[in-house]
């Protein structure tokens, strides 16, 4: 009986062990085989190369890969893939603050969030992403702005394709943080004061604009109105901060509640401002002293001197005497000429 059990156990072991081993091998093979999505997944390096190729073809410098931008781009892609909205930010940070918190020496006006921008898209390849971003000015600016020195890219997989993200920014020429960077990081409401004092713009208005350019201040007109013409890369937020006003005040003055602005739009940003002093144009005549006439020599009335080339009128008596004098002169000249000729003829004959 014992022998039979031993033989049965041996037979079962010989039969089951190979199957068990095969099952383990199959499981390991399945875990190590990449999926079709992973095989065709674009890489951050490919995406960066596509952007830099576009910049070089446009006569711009290629962007350098920076670890801070790489980290943000990948975190952004992962967040969007997991259900976060596009351009989400951790802890109510702005994009500029996020960069500086990772040690990036951001250039530009930090109160306008510096020179930085972000693109994201759902696409299948890096080429598709770049072509999609070329469809409008803001996304094109992220790739082709001359105010950029660095780039980072991130890729995440979703059921519908891939989330591709790029971050571009301009760092300071010294490679060091700006002097007010710490204040920007520790006093986050400072960068959101354009909406309401003490309230964060992230709470009131979602996220800050994803690209920005400087705003040049214009002076008031004669009536005290400050009219600002919106330029490319400017936002209602950056305009409000530059003029020291608020988004709500600009909305009130223009009687509209949207925060979208467009290039060429004429915005009334301030009323009752002091216009610049009027400069009175200086005429050419008043620019030089008036010349006073100087005394000139006068010809006495009794003088018979006649200016050169002057035309005078003679009396009839003067005309008769002149003709007689001419006739007499002609007669004398004829006699003088005739006498030598007479002597010559005599001599030659």
Consecutive 10-residue averages of pLDDT for the chain (349 residues): 54 48 40 59 96 97 96 94 90 85 90 90 96 93 95 94 96 90 65 39 40 71 90 76 84 84 88 72 47 46 42 52 62 58 37
Look at residue 343 in the predicted model and tell me its pLDDT. Answer: 40
Look at residue 321 in the predicted model and tell me its pLDDT. Answer: 55
State the pTM of this model: 0.49
Report H helices in the chain: 2-32, 36-39, 44-57, 67-81, 95-101, 126-133, 137-144, 181-186, 201-205, 236-242, 247-254, 316-348
The rounded distance, in Å, linking the Cα atoms of 242 and 112 is 8
Structure-derived torsion over alpha carbons of residues 72, 78, 79, 82, reported in degrees to the nearest 10: 180
Q: What's the CA angle centered on 158, arms 153 and 161, to 5 degrees?
A: 80
Look at residue 336 in the predicted model and tell me its pLDDT. Answer: 58
The rounded distance, in Å, linking the Cα atoms of 271 and 226 is 6
Q: Is 192 exposed, middle or buried (0-12, 13-18, 19+ CB in 10 A)?
A: buried
């Amino acid at each position: 009986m014992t022998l039979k059990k031993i033989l049965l156990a041996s037979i079962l072991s010989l039969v089951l062990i190979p199957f068990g081993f095969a099952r383990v091998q199959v499981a390991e093979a399945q875990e190590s085989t990449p999926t079709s999505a992973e095989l065709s997944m674009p890489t951050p390096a490919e995406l960066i190369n596509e952007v830099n190729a576009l910049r070089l073809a446009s006569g711009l410098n290629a962007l350098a890969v920076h670890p801070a931008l790489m980290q943000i781009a990948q975190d952004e892609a992962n967040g969007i893939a997991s259900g976060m909205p596009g351009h989400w930010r951790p802890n109510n940070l702005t994009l500029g603050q996020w960069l500086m918190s990772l040690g990036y020496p951001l250039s530009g006006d930090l109160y306008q969030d510096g020179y930085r921008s972000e693109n994201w898209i759902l696409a299948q390849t890096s080429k598709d992403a770049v072509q999609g971003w070329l469809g409008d000015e803001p996304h094109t600016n992220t790739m082709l702005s001359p105010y950029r020195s660095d780039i980072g890219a991130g890729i995440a997989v979703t059921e519908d394709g891939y989330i591709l993200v790029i971050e571009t920014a301009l760092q300071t020429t010294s490679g060091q943080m700006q002097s007010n960077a710490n204040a920007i990081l520790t006093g986050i409401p400072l960068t959101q004061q354009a909406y309401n004092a003490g309230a964060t713009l992230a709470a009131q208005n979602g996220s800050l604009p994803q690209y920005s350019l400087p705003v040049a201040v214009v002076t008031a007109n004669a009536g005290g109105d400050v009219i600002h013409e919106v330029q490319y890369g400017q936002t209602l937020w950056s305009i409000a901060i530059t003029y020291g006003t608020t988004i709500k005040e600009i909305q009130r003055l223009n009687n509209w509640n949207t925060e979208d602005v467009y290039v060429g739009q004429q915005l009334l940003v301030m009323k009752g401002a002091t216009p610049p002093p009027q400069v009175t144009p200086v005429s050419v005549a008043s620019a030089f002293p008036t010349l006073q006439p100087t005394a000139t020599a006068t010809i006495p009335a009794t003088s018979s001197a006649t200016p050169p080339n002057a035309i005078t009128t003679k009396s009839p008596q003067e005309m008769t005497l002149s003709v007689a004098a001419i006739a007499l002169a002609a007669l004398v000249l004829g006699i003088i000429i005739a006498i030598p000729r007479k002597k010559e003829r005599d001599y030659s004959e």
